Amino acid sequence: MQKIPKKALIPLIVFFLSVSGMMAQSTLFTGYVRNYSGMLLSDNYYFAILQNTFSLNIENSKNKVAFKVNPYINHYQNKELESGLRQAYLDIFFNSMDIRIGKQQIIWGKADGVFITDVISPKDMREFLLPDFDEIRMGVTAIKVDYYLGNNTLEFVFVPAFTPTKLPEQDSIWSPKMDFNIQPIFDYSQKEVAQNLKNSEIFLKFSVLSSAIDFEIMGGYMWDDDPTLHTFKLIDPATAQVDSITVTPQHHRLGLFGGSFSTTLGSIVIRGEGAYISGKYFPSIEQSIVDGVVEKSYIHYLLGFDFSLANIKMSLQFIQQVILNYNEYISNHEFENTMTFLAQKDFLRETLFLELFAYIGLNNGDSLVRLKATYKLVDGFEILLGANIFNGSKGRFGQYNDNDMLYMKFKYSF
């Protein structure tokens, strides 16, 4: 008997679930079809993004059981079709407890556009921070249990198999810039994390919802979704020059303890989020360190304010990362400071929406400014025009200074 390739199993599963759903009258089908084109404002106005997407949500519930399946297909210019399941899970409801089993997106924390305690679902960073966040945030196969105690919730998440961040290809315009004098050799022999019980991840969160304040306390024992680049340099003893560089990506265990809150002060919403993370590796220029990295703990926190001014919805966030027990040989800043700004307003009876969202790196003077206008032409059909403007010469956003882009999206939702 001929074996079915593993890659062919996904479309077969999607087809089976779709047919099963069609047999039930209560099944709900929603989704969208979208065309997305992005043109760089440099390099002869090159089209960096030419994408067609079909996304389908299949949902059904009966008695105390429900399911959701979200298959998608992406077609990129001059590339093979990309298909998969963004989510595919089963819900089981009890009187004081819910259980969700399967591939799911799990969102924690109060931050907008920033990942602090929102660390369970890995990220798709192949196009940096440009896609919608429900597409950046990947589904992860997990068991999630919510136990309800009045207005309070105890949430437990078990992730049996580690899923890393999706990183851009080395020749992508979104590949992070690496500061090497010579071309490194990449050794991927240590990158994989074996899928066994010992390498599973666990998370716990306690949430309190009250009339005065909402807050959450959470902890996790997890893997770093982003690989550490262990860098080994071979030095020629005769010339004292670097003869070769070998980069070995490797994922490491992290411990996390944190929390978040939101409350109101008059018409202003105040949000906060913070985490203490142990086991993180940072690059170091200390010559005595063989692999070029050093293990440190760090604190990552945010304070945000949401308010309205002249009928414009606004939001300000200050984000800081602090490396503990810092020394001058670490390549990162001891205090990494970032701000975000959001302004939104609708016009024409909520058919035209204008938005500005900006990341501002305070250490390096770099930024990413995102402008977009969305017009709902008819029910279910919208046109979006936008621009992504990078500023600076270095830093997280400045490294992409040549990637300024205009883009357009045509989207039909059903």
Closest Cα partner for 103 from 120, 88, 122, 85? 88
pLDDT in tens, the chain (414 residues): 444 445 545 554 555 555 455 445 689 999 999 999 999 998 788 899 999 999 999 999 999 999 999 999 999 988 889 999 999 999 999 999 999 999 999 999 999 999 999 999 999 999 999 999 999 999 999 999 999 999 999 999 999 999 999 999 988 999 998 888 788 999 999 999 999 999 999 999 999 999 999 999 999 999 999 999 999 988 877 887 888 999 999 999 999 999 999 999 999 999 999 999 999 999 999 988 999 999 999 999 999 999 999 999 999 999 999 999 999 999 999 999 999 999 999 999 999 999 999 999 999 999 999 999 999 999 999 999 999 999 999 999 999 999 999 999 999 999
C-alpha dist (Å) from residue 347 to 181, 351, 352, 377, 385:
52, 6, 5, 13, 15
Long-range pairs, 335-342, Cβ under 8 A, ≥24:
335/363, 336/363, 337/361, 337/362, 337/363, 338/114, 338/362, 340/112, 340/113, 340/114, 340/315, 340/316, 341/314, 341/315, 341/316, 341/317, 342/112, 342/313, 342/314, 342/315, 342/316
Q: Provide CB contacts within 8 A for 287, sequence distance 6+.
A: none
Distance CA 116, CA 336 (A): 14
Beta strand ranges found along 362-413 (DSSP E)? 366-378, 381-391, 405-413
The pTM is what?
0.90
Q: Are 216 and 261 in contact (CB under 8 A)?
A: yes
- Beta strand 293-309 with 312-323 is antiparallel
Token match 């440009």: residue?
A: 130
Interatomic CA distance for residues 149 and 141, integer angstroms: 26
Calculate the alpha carbon distances from 13 to 85, 160, 162, 216, 249 in Å: 10, 21, 22, 37, 33
Q: Tell me the β-bridge partners of 166.
A: 124
* Three-class HEC string of 73-102: EEEECCCCCEEEEEEEEEEEECCCEEEEEE
User: Quick check: 65 and 93 in contact, CB under 8 A?
Assistant: yes
| Pairing mode, strands 201-209 and 213-223 | antiparallel
